[in-house]
Amino acid sequence: MERTRRSTIGSLAALGAAGLAGCLDEGIVGSVGERDGEGDAAEGDGSAEGDAPGEGRGPPTADGSRHLAYDLDALLEESLSGGVGQDGIPSIDDPAFAPIGETSLVADAPVFGVVRGGEAKAYPQHVLVHHEIVNDTVGGDRVAVTYCPLTGTAQGFERGETTFGVSGRLVNSNLIMYDRATESWWPQMLATAIDGPMRGETLREFRVVWTTVGEWRAAHPDSRILTDDTGYVRRYENDPYGLYAPLGGYYASEGTLFPALSDPEEGHPKSVVIGARTAGGAVAFDKETLLAERVLSGTLRPSGEAAVAVADPALSTAYVYLNPEGAAVEPDGDGYRVEGNDAGGAVGSEGGVDADDLSLERVLAFDAMWFAWAGFHPDTGFAGEHTGAGYGR
């Protein structure tokens, strides 16, 4: 049921501005459970295995699963309308890019960075807040770069021959994507289908780095950046939810627009964590604390797996690793030193290594607002001190 750009633009003429406003209107919540009529290599997500799609089939799936604190029926029951219909927020399916050195954005402007197959791209937050999904090709791979403004999550997925669209539904305030081949519903943060022919399957994910134009440009001077030339008429200078630089609106307030699956007992709901999950558990590291201390240890719950997170100050981000042997991880200049005693031998490295290259098993991680992470993972482990709203800086 691929929609043409012409038909989507036509729909938006009637729905666009009102639909986005509807997302911000606390009076429009929708009815629970009703369905509308109708780089880096992946980090420990099993993306190297699983089913590969053919023409007309759904997106490729991972061989492993993700920890879910709720069963699929409960998640589907808690899904609700976000105030717009399917594709009422249009994905970008024909993205245009320019050299990042030519952008006029201020250095502090948030962008979502991706590196795959030697190609680097940046996706500005001020564009994605109006579209939420970019169906793109990076390093020769068909991918979708996605962003949910209500939960502060930017995540990447392999899409195969299909594309993803915005279903118009939310669960725990989080974007529910749909794939246009099978129309299965995929909550972004869970990467697991809760309805449709692919129910229970898990998408192949890859890392998306939440950083700034200035930091990404310094690290990847040959990167290209998504432009405002999307084919849609939008006031890209206006974020309907607020501001990140300086912080304001929804991103700074304690309130949410839609009910959470569960509420954390402490911490600012919009503080930012670096979250990671395996098949057995989940853990969240307070981002501001992690960037200040550079190394934090934590435990995935309920599995009890030990983990360590290290900061990458150059991009104001962090990486998470499993640490079953309790290896000691210490800053070493701009990098890190790993020393452990697994099986009687050191797993250490001489000299500092980059934050994304420790000699431990890396787990996919991404930024999220604390309330959203804790809502999906009420049993999550947590490390650090609870801090204020923002994006971890």
Residue 341 neighbours by CB distance under 10 Å? 13
Are the C-beta atoms of residues 283 and 275 closer than 8 Å to each other? Answer: yes
Pairing of the two strands 281-286 and 301-302: antiparallel
- The closest alpha carbon to 327, from 306, 311, 353, belongs to 306
The string of DSSP codes covering 184-235 is -EEETTTTB--BSTTTT-BB-EE--EEEEHHHHHHH-TT-EEE-S-SSS---
Banded pLDDT at 29 (limits 50, 70, 90): very low
- Residue at token pair 């105030």: 83
Q: Is the pLDDT of residue 374 over 80?
A: yes
Spatial strand order in the sheet of 224-226: 97-99, 224-226, 119-124, 110-116, 209-212
Q: Is the pLDDT of residue 38 over 50?
A: no
Residue 56 pLDDT? 54
pLDDT tens, position by position, 303-359: 999 999 999 999 999 999 999 999 999 999 989 999 864 433 334 445 589 999 999
Taking the C-alpha atoms of residue 382 and residue 119, their distance in angstroms, rounded to an integer, is 34
Residue 340 pLDDT? 67
Q: Is the pLDDT of residue 166 over 80?
A: yes
Taking the C-alpha atoms of residue 74 and residue 180, their distance in angstroms, rounded to an integer, is 24
User: Which tokens in the block code for residue 267?
Assistant: 């911490």
Are the C-beta atoms of residues 381 and 286 closer than 8 Å to each other? Answer: no
Q: Is the pLDDT of residue 10 over 80?
A: no
Residue 177 pLDDT? 98
pLDDT tens, position by position, 175-222: 999 999 999 999 999 999 999 999 999 999 999 999 999 999 999 999
**What is the pLDDT averaged over residues 377-388?**
96
- The closest alpha carbon to 157, from 138, 173, 171, 181, belongs to 138
pLDDT tens, position by position, 266-276: 999 999 999 99
Q: Is the pLDDT of residue 279 over 90?
A: yes
Which residues share a beta bridge with 169? 81
Are the C-beta atoms of residues 368 and 374 closer than 8 Å to each other? Answer: no
Q: Is the pLDDT of residue 389 over 70?
A: yes
The torsion region of residue 390 among left (phi > 0), alpha (psi -120 to 50) and beta comes to left
pLDDT tens, position by position, 99-130: 999 999 999 999 999 999 999 999 999 999 99
Residue 392 pLDDT? 62
Residue 347 pLDDT? 44
Q: How far is CA 110 from CA 70, 117, 143, 217, 311, in A?
A: 32, 23, 20, 12, 18
Amino acid of residue 342: D
- The closest alpha carbon to 37, from 201, 168, 133, belongs to 168
Judged by average pLDDT, the poorest of 38-52, 174-188, 229-243, 338-352 is: 38-52
Half-sphere exposure of residue 310: CA atoms within 13 angstroms, side-chain side: 26
CA–CA–CA angle 359, 273, 225 (5° rounding): 80
**What is the pLDDT averaged over residues 150-159?**
98
Banded pLDDT at 16 (limits 50, 70, 90): very low
Are the C-beta atoms of residues 296 and 384 closer than 8 Å to each other? Answer: yes
Taking the C-alpha atoms of residue 80 and residue 16, their distance in angstroms, rounded to an integer, is 19
> Is the preceding peptide bond at 240 cis, omega within 30 degrees of 0?
no
Amino acid of residue 189: M
Banded pLDDT at 57 (limits 50, 70, 90): confident
Banded pLDDT at 96 (limits 50, 70, 90): very high
